[in-house]
Structure 1
């Protein structure tokens, strides 16, 4: 094998090839994460040479020829909702099993999306997962140099695949549970008004209330966070005494529960029943026994991974993939 490169410069793929006694093309194939043909003996020599030299592949440079950088961009508004923690830890782990890494982009507002466009930034990634409700499919496709834009925020179109929770079934079960226990008057605590997913969720609640003859006393605006639920807790009785409070996130329900702990003896309701949404892992413990609506997060992530692993499974015009929700009874609902 050839001599090591000078100690004052970073090793290159050419140095690895020279040390392994192979061509630069063979060295590149051997170090690729993609299944590319290389004789076993040559691959082993290349791997040993790369380790000896401390060589790390330059993914961005490689992308100029392969058009693949093994990077997935995830666009979010922010990450402070407790439901984000349950989902993203699993999602990032599963994306890494595909040999890809994640770039997390926090948008925060519609203006921020426009800033990206005005700056003329073209992010080169293999795929984009869009959770932010400020970004539509066409805008994201202009922002990124990729053939795969996966919409998870309800703002998709015929040109991009989408995975969405089918929330009507779980909401219908929860409202039926309340009606069967004599609930007649309800309060609804909602999340961000800008979210198209939230708009559909609210419509599902209203339809279920109407179906069971429940009277909606008032709707309180939150933002999915614990703090907004805690703030709403002081206004629950402004329009009358509800038999049940439905929240469109578990975090908001947890905030309300803390304000009204005296109304839940051993977690059970004595004044009103409480329902959340998301089936957070925290609700599995005695401190926050909130009845909830959720979907199997592993099923949801599995559907995302299917599309990432095989983009060809999507054809323009295909309907969104729907992951069903179900009602999870706990003591806060009696």
Structure 2
């Protein structure tokens, strides 16, 4: 292949195609992030030609042709919970693997949602993934002017795809485990009261306690963070501590464990048992061997990304995709 020397204008896709010895359509497909059929040999020649010419694809032009911008909005309340790290690294990797990129939108209150709408601050995206519990499906569709809104916060409607864990099954297992070990009195450290999914989670705990004859003697509201668990330990782990403390996030359970290390020699309980939620990767290591409840995050992410990659497969009124949870016993219980 030879390269034109001394050209004054920016190289075009036609120049790349000519240098690589392929059609413009093949050159365009070879340089696209979309998974389109191009032989490995032709793709290599096109990529080499583009590099030699210094060609850069015009993303705006591509978006006008394909009707997509290859951007996915991920809407969150904030990112400070350790479970966010476990989930979002995996999610971003899988979204990028299908040729799309992510913009993170932080919405910490209902007022922020209203501000987005009031000021007309809307991004053009192919889809929105909604973890924030401050926005429902119709609102998010207006925010992004997009019909593909995958709801992950419990605020869905019939027009939105839904992926959600079946938290009741794992909670029932964990509480039954505690009952078998003689637990009669329990404490519960919860997360944000504004979250519909958290309210459902608390309901599952209450049902399981009743079913297993365990009295819920103390509830402390946290915010899923390590700091709120650390603070909750002072309320729950006194002289009259319950037989077991359940937390609706592993990060809060970690805070309690660090305050009460003296009660867990060798990480084993002496005064009360400790249960978390999320099954963080950190709980597999020696520092925080916390018994937890969780689901397969790779399966969860796979379902989310499938809605993005195959939007035409969803039909209104389709039931939520449910990912089962299970109990993971470790030393603290």
Under a length normalisation based on structure 2, what TM-score does the superposition of the two structures give? Answer: 0.91
Is 1:95 paired with 2:95?
Answer: yes
Is 1:193 paired with 2:202?
Answer: no
Q: Is the 8 A contact 2:34 2:98 kept in 1?
A: no
Distance 1:97 1:267, change over 3 A: same
Q: Is the 8 A contact 1:217 1:240 kept in 2?
A: no
Is 1:205 paired with 2:170?
Answer: no
Paired position in structure 1 for 2:72: 72
Distance 1:206 1:139, change over 3 A: same
Deviates more, 1:64-73 or 1:322-331: 64-73
Q: Which runs of 5+ in 2 are unaligned?
A: none
Q: Distance in 2 between matches of 1:82 and 1:40?
A: 40
Q: Distance in 1 between matches of 2:41 and 2:177?
A: 65
How many residues align? The count is 332
Q: Is the 8 A contact 2:187 2:242 kept in 1?
A: yes
Distance 1:58 1:211, change over 3 A: same
Paired position in structure 1 for 2:287: 287
Paired position in structure 1 for 2:310: 310
Q: Which runs of 5+ in 1 are unaligned?
A: none
Paired position in structure 2 for 1:127: 127
Distance 1:44 1:207, change over 3 A: closer
User: Where in structure 2 are the equivalents of 1:109-124 lying within 5 Å?
Assistant: 109-124=109-124
Residue 69 of structure 1 aligns to a residue whose secondary structure is coil
Paired position in structure 2 for 1:3: 4
Spell out, residue by residue over 1:5-41, the C-alpha distance to the aligned partner (whole angstroms, 9 max, x if none).
Answer: 756x754446546766887666544533335678999
Q: Distance in 2 between matches of 1:124 and 1:232?
A: 42
Spell out, residue by residue over 1:255-296, the C-alpha distance to the aligned partner (whole angstroms, 9 max, x if none).
Answer: 001111111111111111100000011111111111100001
Q: Distance in 1 between matches of 2:298 and 2:36?
A: 31
Q: Distance in 1 between matches of 2:118 and 2:180?
A: 54
Q: Distance in 1 between matches of 2:285 and 2:106?
A: 30
Paired position in structure 2 for 1:250: 250
- What is the CA-CA distance between 1:101 and the residue it aligns to? 1.6
Deviates more, 1:53-62 or 1:178-187: 53-62
Spell out, residue by residue over 1:99-144, the C-alpha distance to the aligned partner (whole angstroms, 9 max, x if none).
Answer: 2221122222222222221221332222211111112111111111
Spell out, residue by residue over 1:135-167, the C-alpha distance to the aligned partner (whole angstroms, 9 max, x if none).
Answer: 211111111143321111111110000000100
Under a length normalisation based on structure 1, what TM-score does the superposition of the two structures give? Answer: 0.91
Spell out, residue by residue over 1:61-110, the C-alpha distance to the aligned partner (whole angstroms, 9 max, x if none).
Answer: 32122111222211111111001111111111112221222112222222
RMSD: 2.5
